[in-house]
Structure 1
Amino acid sequence: MDKMKRVSIYALIVAIVITITQFNFQYECSSATTAFNYGEALQKSILFYEAQRSGSLLTSNIPTRLLWRGDAQLTDGQKEGLDLTGGWVDAGDNIKFGVTCAYTTSLLAFGAIEYKDAYEKSGQMKWLQNQLRWINDYFIKCHPEPNVFWAQVGMTANDHNNWVPIEVTHLMNDRTAIKLDEQHPGTEIAMGTAAAMAASSIVFRNTDPTYADKLLEHAKQLYEFGDKYRGVFSDVISKVDPQGAAAYTSHSGYNDELVWGSIWLYKAMEDKSSGSGSDYLAKAKEYYNGIGKEANQQVHKYKWAHCWDDQTFGCYILMSQIEPETSLYREDAERWLNWWTVGGTEHNADGTKISYTPGGHAKLDNWGSFRYASTTALFAFVYSDKLSDTVKKARYHDFAVKQINYILGDNPRKASYMVGFGQNYPQHPHHRTAHSPWGQEMDTPAEHRHILYGALVGSVDSTDGFNDVISDYVSNEVAIDYNAGLTGALARMYSEFGGTPIPDSSFPLPDKPHEPKDEWPVFAKTYFNGTSVPSFH
């Protein structure tokens, strides 16, 4: 071989090595974890719930770190002869929906149970417990008798027609409450609230066992109510508040809540006394048989996400951990997580998978897709943490990391989709109280008066674009259920990647400058003329 040929071959080899090296470098860079302050993100995700508080903040022993919030809806329940003050309002509106309050509480408690060390190390457990106590105290008020639960406060159409902050809703909005009882059952809400209170009892078991016992007793009564008196909650709501039933319709029925409630009563009973929850576990197994099938398939459904309407998917994960030797639960869990990650036909799946945006967001739906992805991320973390299969362990873990990082800023817009986190976050979330107008107009003032720290907005579009406009409630509304799974997933991210929460001494956090005259309570009666305005979600 002559010298020129040897040089050419050598050059070719060098070029190939360089190409491979560059490819590996690019691959490693593209798959590397982008660092965010996960401690701060977790902290702010919990802080968001303080903005949603209804009731008397000023006299409560549960503090608020948002000084722009005040007492609100102090007449709730008076018309019914009860005290139904407290709790959380649902979203950018000012209604208290039992179905989302229950769902959110169970998921927040779940995250605190799974990642207790992360909450304690970050100093956020006390703040999460504050919010769990706030909402559970409200549940106790809503449950004055064993077979009675007040499932909603506020009428949807009236509330959505009035673009006003929470502090003045009692002046303008119909705050009628809706009751579930033996003649008007709502199994989803009864079971969902039972799960929420049972899960919360585990969170409080070591620090306040008396309160934990109280929550567990209410949970047991609500479980019996929901199990014995079967009925679809939205059928009851629709008779009093048709628009509310339309917003929160039980599409999946109540079989999923029967399983979800049974699982959490089992876990809470076992947490108090080992061996005492066996009856509830037996119920969970029995009711699991009623979980629906995927359309035109012979396997349990897997093409959706754990959400306020359908808690089937979390049941897969929890049952697979309670009884890991039962292949049915494991296969259901992995078929669901595979659909969110790689698709394929394992466990008799049909080979399809969820759609992704070009930037990597797993987009289930146009409305609120971030909540679905972040909640699935939480369950993917929980499942992967206990896997020995290294391929699947990495698959589900890496999916979860990618989805949470996308939300925090690792996306084509380099934008955070958590309000008040990062440098480029939404400025116009669809939220009445943060906007704080005093003329019932969504565009006046042009800028929000307050920063809604920690709120997760709804969704990017299919090309990773985002419409930061207050009137776009599909992409830019916030809600208590949106942050529920995200909060637990952020605790898991903090446990692995770290971060530093803002010191408590630095609160309140900076807000937009305003004067007392800017706020609704001063001018509400002056500016309200009793006329209706266009409907705002």
Structure 2
Amino acid sequence: MIFQLATTKKEICREMRMEGFLSEVRGSKRPKPGESVGLRHRQTDHLFKKEVQKAANGLHLGSTIHQLSIPSNGLFLIRYRKIINWPMVAFLTLALLLTQPAASLAQFLTADQPTGGIRINQIGYGKYDHKTAILDSDLFPGQRIPAFYIIALNQNADTVFTGQLHPTGKDIYSGKKNLEADFTKFTKTGHYYLSIPGQGTSYPFTIAVHPFKALLSASLKAYYYNRASMQISDTYGGIWARQEGHPDSMVYIHPSASSSSRPKGAVISAPGGWYDAGDYNKYIVNSGITMNTLFCAFEDYPALFKGTALDIPRASAVLPDILNELLYNLRWMLRMQDPADGGVYHKLSSASFDKMEMPAKDHDKRYVVQKSTAATLDFVSVMANAARILAPYKAHLPGLTDSLQEAAQLAWKWAEANPAVRYDQDAMNKKFNPDITTGAYGDKNLSDEWYLAACSMLQSTLDPKYLTAVQKYTPQHISIPSWSQVAAIGCIYLTKSNFSNLLNETVWNLQKRTQLIALQQQAKQAIIYLADQLIHQVNAGFNTVMGGRKTDFNWGSNSNCANQGWILMEAYRLTGKVDYRQAAISNLDYLLGKNPTGYCFVTGFGSLSPLHPHHRISISDKVEAPVPGWLVGGPNPGRQDGVKGYPSEQADLSYIDNDQAYSVNEVAINWNAPLVYLLAAIEATEPASKN
């Protein structure tokens, strides 16, 4: 029996708009017209019942199941009157419908089933990139290690490549050696799966020149779905459309934020911005690293992003969609600055975390809390970088870039006058009411925020007065970016700066120019040194940088993985050494399924992906599928959520797909940002031919 997808372009186009699939059933034991056929998604157990209809070339099942109501590339089982059990008969690969001509969409019949022991990038591989899968060595205890086969997803299930499995080095966590299937030499584009006779098959994957376009768009559009203070319309939101929530037109000054011009209880308006994570609050510190990461991605790969459409409402038709989306959060950040003195409120929040309900149902009072140096400096860096990056679009955004620059300078002055105002939520709650118990984002070490702000102001204003601050706060060492460690981002922005025009500036004497060049070189070496450390910490059991150190696994471990990839791609940008790019790809493979859990960690993508993220909108919207494009937190041996049912005590297996497991399955704007960067960097640097 074979499932075969629609065979005309007209039908394909119609189904694309419906985001569904149309299938035919053929075979000797096929159901009769009018009989009810059950399709069961093997990973989620979701059941769809369809009536068989007669067609000119056989029998078909017409379905309008939304593409993302189940993970793409899903494996289905079928049952009808003449079959008692649920035999597996076909892969229904939804991605094929959107990417391949209709004539090539015939699917196959296989006796083997996907096995969780085969860890593979479930989205795909670049045509000329390194391609590997990892297999659990326990699949073959005491047996001769067999060959593996790459099988085409076509009507004949053609074998297109044969290879031999090889042992890996010892895995840091399990203590055993795994088996690796390397099919790098196979470069024909198409849709495939990996098969080991008698043992099973992998989930399907693609090989393409640009395999991550759809995922890149979705990981960016996730921000649109998390917009506060606006309706998500049917036009842009599809099944995830929702009512406006949190207009934030009446936000109260918390006593901790009281000033002479804005006393406690005063009301300000601060609409817009993105919900931070699984909750409905908005935080300047976390918006800071998110915005700087995404601005950096655009600045490094502008051509790619100018061609990346997100299907979102636009503030300007001239701006690339990524900048349109960033503008929505940027304008909210501007509203978080006190115009009287330039200081920036740490966050806009309810007193405690909201219930699991849709945004429109939450009517709790919202506050802005005390100003902090960390929030103000993060604000400085975002405003300075935004003013520079948006400058080419000045004619289409009248007055904005000037306002951004003025806001940055005013905030800088506040920080100079208040260089160490730390946000200590526990201490604040002892002094003021009501208690605020939402995310603190309290940072005790501010030198990295000073460094990033100084680098950003120097690059945007070309004013040598910021050179002194860059010198003062230049770090001895850097770590991968996180909301509390942003020095690496300062290094990245400094290395991208072209100060050649300073030669004609009388304010930049030879000594200052020499100092600046030395600081740039120091920043470059810091990035390369960190990248070299990452390359030398590979976990031999999976051949990924991620997991090379046990400290990689903590709250938001997948963000660690993506940020490692960002640093590696920056090193590749600076040196051109392909080893850095390959190491970054290994981490992308990890995030998309080549990891010990077997999960593709991005909602709505892959054959096995999270269905129950800790994300209030996804939990409450009555749509089975989670909002797509979100990277979940990932394995975390700390398990601070207290949820029962984790599959293992092992650090790299400490993950569960449970919407109450906030320590491993929450989403966050700062976690998605490095994923966007990594996807864009890999896509933009795909080689045109074999190296």
Per-residue deviation, residues 287-309 of structure 1 (Å, max 9, x unmatched): 21xx4xxxxxxxx345x421111
2:170 counterpart residue number: none
- Distance in 2 of aligned mates of 1:487 and 1:411: 19
Partner AA of 2:401 in structure 1 = A
1:434 counterpart residue number: 618
1:43 counterpart residue number: 217
Q: Check the 8 A contact 2:231/2:241 in 1, yes or no.
A: no
Q: Check the 8 A contact 1:114/1:382 in 2, yes or no.
A: no
2:684 to 480, 495, 514: 495
Q: Check the 8 A contact 2:225/2:232 in 1, yes or no.
A: no
Change (3 A) 1:221 1:179: same
Partner AA of 2:218 in structure 1 = K
Change (3 A) 1:98 1:418: same
Report the alpha carbon displacement of residue 41 of structure 1 after superposing the two structures with TM: 1.1
Per-residue deviation, residues 223-266 of structure 1 (Å, max 9, x unmatched): 22223312244237851576657742214x11101110111122
1:126 to 320, 323, 327: 320
Asked whether 1:360 is paired with 2:544, we answer: yes
Q: Check the 8 A contact 1:76/1:175 in 2, yes or no.
A: no
Q: Check the 8 A contact 2:349/2:368 in 1, yes or no.
A: yes
- Distance in 1 of aligned mates of 2:328 and 2:297: 17
1:84 counterpart residue number: 270
Per-residue deviation, residues 300-345 of structure 1 (Å, max 9, x unmatched): 345x421111102223334445566555434422332222220xxx
| Structure 1 residues 316-355: aligned runs within 5 Å | 316-322=491-497, 328-342=522-536, 353=537
Asked whether 1:479 is paired with 2:668, we answer: yes
2:458 counterpart residue number: 266
Partner AA of 1:400 in structure 2 = A
SS of residue paired to 2:685 = helix
2:415 to 218, 226, 230: 226
Partner AA of 2:626 in structure 1 = I
Unaligned runs of 5+ in 1: 1-20, 181-185, 270-275, 292-299, 343-352, 438-444, 500-537
Q: Check the 8 A contact 1:39/1:498 in 2, yes or no.
A: no
2:241 to 60, 68, 74: 68
1:420 counterpart residue number: 604
- Distance in 2 of aligned mates of 1:32 and 1:242: 60
2:360 counterpart residue number: 167
| Structure 1 residues 187-266: aligned runs within 5 Å | 187-209=373-395, 210=398, 211-235=400-424, 238-240=427-429, 244=437, 247-251=440-444, 253-266=445-458
- Distance in 1 of aligned mates of 2:166 and 2:601: 30
Asked whether 1:407 is paired with 2:600, we answer: no
1:383 counterpart residue number: 571
Change (3 A) 1:92 1:24: closer
2:557 to 369, 372, 385: 369
Q: Check the 8 A contact 2:232/2:241 in 1, yes or no.
A: no
Change (3 A) 1:164 1:27: closer
Report the alpha carbon displacement of residue 76 of structure 1 after superposing the two structures with TM: 4.8
Q: Check the 8 A contact 1:77/1:177 in 2, yes or no.
A: no
Change (3 A) 1:66 1:46: farther
Change (3 A) 1:397 1:361: closer
Change (3 A) 1:362 1:31: farther
1:52 counterpart residue number: 226
* Cα RMSD for the two superposed structures: 3.4
1:469 to 636, 645, 658: 658
Asked whether 1:154 is paired with 2:349, we answer: yes
- Distance in 1 of aligned mates of 2:332 and 2:483: 19
Q: Check the 8 A contact 2:592/2:602 in 1, yes or no.
A: yes
Quick one: percent identity of the two aligned structures? 19
Q: Check the 8 A contact 1:341/1:399 in 2, yes or no.
A: yes
Change (3 A) 1:192 1:395: same
- Distance in 2 of aligned mates of 1:246 and 1:57: 25
- Distance in 1 of aligned mates of 2:591 and 2:365: 36
2:79 counterpart residue number: none
Change (3 A) 1:259 1:450: same
Change (3 A) 1:75 1:312: closer
Partner AA of 1:228 in structure 2 = A
Q: Check the 8 A contact 1:436/1:449 in 2, yes or no.
A: no
- Distance in 1 of aligned mates of 2:245 and 2:223: 15
2:55 counterpart residue number: none
Partner AA of 1:419 in structure 2 = T
Report the alpha carbon displacement of residue 450 of structure 1 after superposing the two structures with TM: 4.6
1:533 counterpart residue number: none
SS of residue paired to 2:424 = helix
Partner AA of 1:254 in structure 2 = L
Q: Check the 8 A contact 1:259/1:284 in 2, yes or no.
A: yes
- Distance in 2 of aligned mates of 1:498 and 1:82: 51
- Distance in 1 of aligned mates of 2:228 and 2:687: 33
2:367 to 176, 181, 195: 176
Per-residue deviation, residues 111-153 of structure 1 (Å, max 9, x unmatched): 1111111101334563211221111111122124142323212
1:115 counterpart residue number: 301
Report the alpha carbon displacement of residue 473 of structure 1 after superposing the two structures with TM: 1.1
SS of residue paired to 2:345 = strand
Change (3 A) 1:168 1:337: same
> Normalising to structure 1: TM-score of the pair?
0.71
- Distance in 1 of aligned mates of 2:230 and 2:388: 27
Report the alpha carbon displacement of residue 354 of structure 1 after superposing the two structures with TM: 7.4
Q: Check the 8 A contact 1:258/1:287 in 2, yes or no.
A: yes
Q: Check the 8 A contact 1:197/1:219 in 2, yes or no.
A: yes
Q: Which has the higher contact order (CA 8 A, sep 6+)?
A: 1
Greater fraction strand: 2
Report the alpha carbon displacement of residue 464 of structure 1 after superposing the two structures with TM: 4.6
Partner AA of 1:149 in structure 2 = V
Report the alpha carbon displacement of residue 57 of structure 1 after superposing the two structures with TM: 3.3
Change (3 A) 1:457 1:279: same
2:134 counterpart residue number: none
2:286 counterpart residue number: 100
1:136 counterpart residue number: 330
- Distance in 2 of aligned mates of 1:32 and 1:239: 60
Change (3 A) 1:219 1:236: farther
Partner AA of 1:191 in structure 2 = L
Asked whether 1:453 is paired with 2:628, we answer: yes
- Distance in 1 of aligned mates of 2:540 and 2:272: 39
Unaligned runs of 5+ in 2: 1-162, 168-179, 188-205, 253-265, 311-318, 498-515, 637-650
Q: Check the 8 A contact 1:232/1:250 in 2, yes or no.
A: no
Change (3 A) 1:187 1:245: farther
Q: Check the 8 A contact 2:248/2:271 in 1, yes or no.
A: yes
Q: Check the 8 A contact 1:435/1:450 in 2, yes or no.
A: no
Change (3 A) 1:359 1:486: same
Change (3 A) 1:163 1:450: same
Greater fraction helix: 1
- Distance in 1 of aligned mates of 2:250 and 2:279: 19
Q: Check the 8 A contact 1:359/1:412 in 2, yes or no.
A: no
- Distance in 2 of aligned mates of 1:311 and 1:228: 22
2:467 counterpart residue number: 281
2:89 counterpart residue number: none
Partner AA of 1:248 in structure 2 = Y
- Distance in 1 of aligned mates of 2:357 and 2:236: 24
Change (3 A) 1:395 1:425: same
